[in-house]
């Protein structure tokens, strides 16, 4: 039976001591930039070509470098924005990556979190197999790195005044 791997990772956007403290609107502007210039956020993406931009729906091609034994490749994605909370990145395989800005218990900008949720499809992998377990571990580690690198990029852009 084919495998779909679901995983998610969350990290605070404005942990204690972080400067500048990013507002929800700044983070949202950053996610909109990520749609159109993914290479500024995701080190494995070398460039992004926007094919169609309808504001809340962007069709793009993301060009990926070699990673984890994969050859360099390009992936067409449809990116749908749902202000002010999430962006969905749909791939032709049915894979879905969601970037979500969520509130923490204090309901202030100091409690914002970034969660990336992944739904990866592997039609040639058997459920419960060693390959399935390896891919799940690789996916959650990748999710952690993606969230962390994106928040670092947002922080750099915020410090440079690029999100205002």
Q: Is the pLDDT of residue 98 over 70?
A: yes
Q: Is the pLDDT of residue 89 over 70?
A: yes
Which backbone phi and psi does 153 adopt, to 5 degrees? -65, -45
Q: How far is CA 161 from CA 13, 29, 69, in A?
A: 17, 12, 37
Residue 68 or residue 11, greater confidence: 11
- Copy the structure tokens of residue 149: 């690198």
The Cα 2–Cα 14 span in angstroms is 39
Average pLDDT of every residue of the chain: 93
Q: Is the pLDDT of residue 84 over 80?
A: yes
Q: Is the pLDDT of residue 73 over 80?
A: yes
pLDDT bin (cut points 50, 70, 90) of residue 69 is low
The mean pLDDT value for 23-33 works out to 97
- Read off the pLDDT of residues 125-151 as tens digits, 9 standing for 90 and up: 999 999 999 999 999 999 999 999 999
pLDDT bin (cut points 50, 70, 90) of residue 81 is very high
* Domains of the chain and CATH, by start: 3-159 (3.30.530.20)
């Amino acid at each position: 039976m084919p495998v779909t791997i679901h995983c998610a990772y969350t990290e605070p956007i404005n942990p204690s001591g972080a400067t500048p403290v990013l507002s929800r609107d700044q983070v949202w502007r950053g996610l909109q930039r990520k749609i159109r210039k993914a290479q500024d956020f995701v080190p494995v993406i070398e460039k992004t070509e926007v094919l169609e931009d309808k504001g809340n729906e962007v069709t793009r091609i993301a060009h990926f470098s070699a990673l984890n034994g994969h050859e360099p490749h390009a992936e067409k994605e449809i990116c749908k924005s749902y202000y002010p909370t999430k962006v969905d990145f749909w791939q032709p395989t049915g894979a879905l990556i969601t970037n979500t800005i969520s509130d923490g218990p204090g309901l202030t900008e100091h409690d914002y979190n970034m969660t990336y949720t992944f739904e990866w499809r592997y039609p040639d992998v058997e459920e419960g197999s060693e390959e399935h377990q390896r891919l799940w571990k690789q996916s959650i580690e990748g999710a952690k790195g993606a969230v962390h690198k994106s928040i670092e990029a947002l922080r750099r852009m915020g410090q440079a005044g690029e999100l205002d």
